[in-house]
Amino acid sequence: MHGLRFVTVAATLICTLGLEQQAKAGKVLYQQCANSLGGPSNSFTGVLMAGGLFYSWAGYSINAMKPGCVPNNAIAPDLFSGSSGPGVNNFSSALAGGGLMTGQMMKLNFISNDTPIDKNASMFYNNGNMVGTKIGDAVTSAKNDPIIDITNGGSSAITLDDITAQIFNSEDPLNPSIFFVPDGEDATVTPTLSVSNETIDPGDTAEFTFQLDGSPNWSFEYTYTDQGVMYTDLLASDVPEPSAWQLAIIGLAAFAVGCVWDSRRGFSRRIRVPR
């Protein structure tokens, strides 16, 4: 009975700690668009929501001939790049190549501790003066399984145009030296995108999920229209492996199961011995 109780407790710990590890897996790659609306800009300041940490960040100029905020050159960031081992909540970078003209867009590529950007505090600047900045109103976060929450953080409805989840991508989403491009197997997203859930009203959240099926990484990319402008955002991450101490607990649980099984078999044999 004591062994069985130990197994129950250990199993509960494994499940609880495993879910917590997955939910707090750490680093997530974000890719999203920013528009220098109010005038030309020559620098950008990025700020994460409370508790957020940037580990790497980069800015790419956009090919105006392609819809969906596609970089001109994804081989290397042509506007700025930076990194921080321990992480920082904000950064400021000059824009290379003369900066952006009025109305030009930038692809912001960053790795954080699963914290989205604060679109109200992140701004383009021109010689130290704030420039009108538009970052898409969709605020996205990932939970375990994974579950993706898309929240409308703006004041008008946004329309989801397309959603694609992929697993078994060949590239590591958390490699800061590349511009990650999903190329894996399509995963079935639940619920499927339809007329009933394609519109997200201000303050509302749409939730989507998909199965990993043993994949070491995943990506979730979606295109949406916000006040007549089309944005393409992406989240991607690795799948965390069990830590050493979690594996130790699993081993102890397995050992306890074996002990309980052996004791039961022994008890069964004893009661069959004639007196």
pLDDT tens-place string over residues 12-29: 444 444 443 443 348 999
Give yes or no for a contact between 115 and 122, defined as CB atoms under 8 angstroms apart.
no
Shared domain check, 261 and 197: no
Q: Give the pLDDT band of residue 259 (cuts 50, 70, 90).
A: very low
Shared domain check, 198 and 257: no
Shared domain check, 265 and 183: no
β-sheet bridge partners, residue 234? 31, 221
**In-domain check, residue 33:** yes
pTM exceeds 0.85, yes or no: no
- Per-residue pLDDT reduced to its tens digit, 213-224: 999 999 999 999
**In-domain check, residue 47:** yes
Q: How far apart are CA 206 and CA 56, in angstroms?
A: 28
Lowest mean pLDDT segment, chosen from 70-79, 93-102, 155-164, 215-224: 70-79
Shared domain check, 128 and 210: yes
**In-domain check, residue 275:** no
Shared domain check, 98 and 9: no
Dihedral sign computed on CA atoms, order 119, 125, 131, 134: negative
| Ordered alpha helix ranges (H), the chain | 2-23, 244-272
Q: Give the pLDDT band of residue 65 (cuts 50, 70, 90).
A: confident
Shared domain check, 182 and 103: yes
